[in-house]
Structures are given as C-alpha cells and as structure tokens.
Amino acid sequence: MNQAIAKAIADEMEADASVILMGEDVAVAEGPFKTSEGLLQRFGPERVRDTPISETGFLGAALGAAMCGLRPVVEIMFIEFLGVALDQLVTEAAMMHYLSGGRYRVPLVVRASVGAGLGFGCQHSQTLERWLVGTPGLKVAVASGARSAYALTRAAIRDDNPVVVLEPRALYGEREDFEPDDPLPELGSAEVRSEGEDVTIVALGQTVNAALRAAEAASCSAQVIDLRTLVPWDRATVLEAVRRTGRLALVEENQRSGGWGADIAAEVSERLFGVLRAPVLRITAPDVPVPFGAELEQRFVPSAAYIADQLGAWMQTGQVPAPWWAVSA
C-alpha cells in the first residue's frame, strides 16, 4: 500500500505543478513508512520538503499555501501527532472557506498513519477519526488497501476542500493489484465489496479485510461495504443496502465510545426502524488504551474470527451479543 500512496502523490504532482508534499522525513528519507519513495529525486526539494518536528508550523503553513494557490499534501507521521496541530485543521482549515464567503478555497490534504497492529504502544496506535468527524468543512477518507489508498489519495488531492486521508499503518506492507487508470471515486461514496442478502456489514480501514473474511466464513449471506469516506458518509448506499437486507453490522477499530459507527447506527435506526429485523450491531474495540503486548493488541482490533462469532450469535438470537470483554470480565 505504501507504494500505491507514493504513486498516487507522484501522479498528481506530475499532473499539477501546484501539488507539493511536506512532512517529517518525507524527502531525503522518503518517508518513515516509505510512502514518498522516489519523490524528492523526481520533483526536487522545492516541492518535496522535509519539515522540522513542528506539526502546528507545517500544517499551518500548508493551510496558508493552500489558500494562496498551492495544493499541499501534508504527512502526519502518526495521527497522534495531529493533536498538537489540531487547531490548524479543525478550527482554521475547516472554516476558511466558510469564513471567506467561499472566496478562499483550501485544497489541502492531510495524510496520517493510523491504527493498531504493529506494537507501537498506546500513543502510536489509535485511529482517532473521532477527533475529526464532527467538523463541518472537512472531509475524511480512510484507506483499506493499496487500491483504495491510491484512488482516495488522488481524489483527495483533486478536491478543493481540506481532506484527511487516514492510512492504516498495518496495511502499508500489504500488496494488492489494481488498475491505476480506473475512474477516481467521488469522496463520499462507499464501495460495495461483496454482495449478500441477510446482513449489511459496514467496515472501514483495516476492518474491511477482516469483515470480508468474516463474511466468507459466516453461515449467513453477508454484504460488505467499505465506507471509504467517513465525512461525508454515503447515506444513500448504506440506507439502500439496509433497506434490502434488514440488518446492519458496523465494524470499527476505534474504542466503542464516540466511535464512528454510533452516528450511522443512530441514523439507520431513526430512518429504517420499521424495516430493521434486528437491532444494529456495533463491533468495536473496548474503551481502553491500545495495549502493547502482541496477543492483547491482536484481540483489541476486531478480528475476522471475532466478527464471525458476533455475527453468528446476533443472527441466531436476534439480540446484540455481549462483546468479548464483557463476557470475559
């Protein structure tokens, strides 16, 4: 997936001279996760810029550059590092178009690695999309593999709004064949990854592959949707799918409280109450910091086996089963 991201940036830099990349160690070192391999050599140090460890500084600078004619792509090495610069994204970048009556556009892309699975400990393993989802003026996309990372990155660079693209770090090394010339998705569109009749599973980021494997293993016929964009989320596709299957399961890597699935569950419950054949099922991580030890970390992120178990119990009883931590507690 890291090569796909580098290719997406390169293709857009090739197509548009106003696209630049900046972040910590993105130029000379080609990115700590090798997501900018070859870019410095190809596009030079004016357009591919190493920054100091100074997220407020370079995210703010990217905002200023975006309002003045460039299309900056900013790499935030770990999403947690966005915390020190959140003002520049949530309170500044997201509001500049609004606060200029539409006269200043902010074609800014903020890429950040997210998620558990690589043993980085609790301060380098969160997904933290909850920091962003309630922010009018931002778009938020989440990659689920090389193909979607390539497409979402290119679409984000072409968008005239600030777009955050989250990259599940555990997937950087994953390989996937794709056709780079496929039409780019519209940000805000989900992708139906597999068809099914009995249940709609909506997943995001690294839970998409787990959901697909769980759907294959499940005794029921499950449709899997990769939400792809969290803000705005694809209401039409999700509501239409649930209208057909009558059941919705959401698979989230984030801790349960304030997780992205809560909004979707609420809206589906509000709008499709009459057609739901079971309560909405949210499969999430527990409300604890991400544990370091490998076994616990693996357990923290919903696995294919856990998803399949939860789906099975839910389908059988028509009730939401207790999560593993409530059972084992």
Partner 1 sequence: MVGGVGVSALSALERRQQLASGPLARFERMLEIRLVEDRVQELFAQGLVHGTTHTSQGQEAVAVAIAAATRPGDVVACTYRGHGLALALGVRPEALLGEILGRQIGCMGGLGGSMHLSDPDVGLLPTMAIVGAGIPVAAGAGLAAKLRGADGVAVAVFGDGATNIGAFHEGLNLAAIWRLPVVFVCENNLYGEYSRIQLTTPVTDLSVRAQSYAMPAESVDGQLLDEVGAAVERAVRRARSGGGPSFVEAKTYRYAGHSRSDKAAYRPAGELEAWRARDPIALYAEQMRVDGVLGDVEALRAGVRARVEESALTALASPPASPEQMFAHVLASGAGTPVEG
The residues assigned a catalytic role are: 55, 124
Q: Identify which of residues 188 and 323 has a Cβ nearer to partner 1 in the complex.
A: 188
Q: Identify which of residues 263 and 309 has a Cβ nearer to partner 1 in the complex.
A: 263
Q: Least distance (Å) from partner 1 to the CB of residue 111?
A: 17
**Contact call for residues 67 and 73 (beta carbons, < 8 A):** no
Tell me how far apart the alpha carbons of residues 212 and 280 are, in angstroms, rounded to a whole number. 18
Binding site for partner 1 (CB under 8 A): 18, 20, 46-47, 49, 51-52, 54, 56-70, 72, 84, 87-88, 91-92, 95-106, 136-137, 139, 159-161, 188, 232, 234-236, 239
Q: Least distance (Å) from partner 1 to the CB of residue 184?
A: 15
What is each CA distance from 217 to 208, 220, 292, in whole angstroms?
A: 14, 9, 29
Tell me how far apart the alpha carbons of residues 13 and 42 are, in angstroms, rounded to a whole number. 10
* Among 266, 290, 268, 287, CA closest to 277: 268
Residue 249 parent element (H or E): strand 248-255
**Contact call for residues 200 and 161 (beta carbons, < 8 A):** no
Pairing mode, if any, of strands 222-226 and 191-194?
A: antiparallel
Contacts with 102 (C-beta within 8 Å, 6 or more apart), sequence order: none
Indicate the DSSP class of residue 122: G
Q: Least distance (Å) from partner 1 to the CB of residue 142?
A: 18
Q: Least distance (Å) from partner 1 to the CB of residue 139?
A: 8
Backbone torsions φ then ψ of 323, nearest 5 degrees: -70, 165
Q: Least distance (Å) from partner 1 to the CB of residue 35?
A: 22
* 106: Cα within 13 Å, side-chain hemisphere: 30
Backbone torsions φ then ψ of 252, nearest 5 degrees: -120, 135
**How many CB atoms neighbour CB 18 within 10 A?**
14
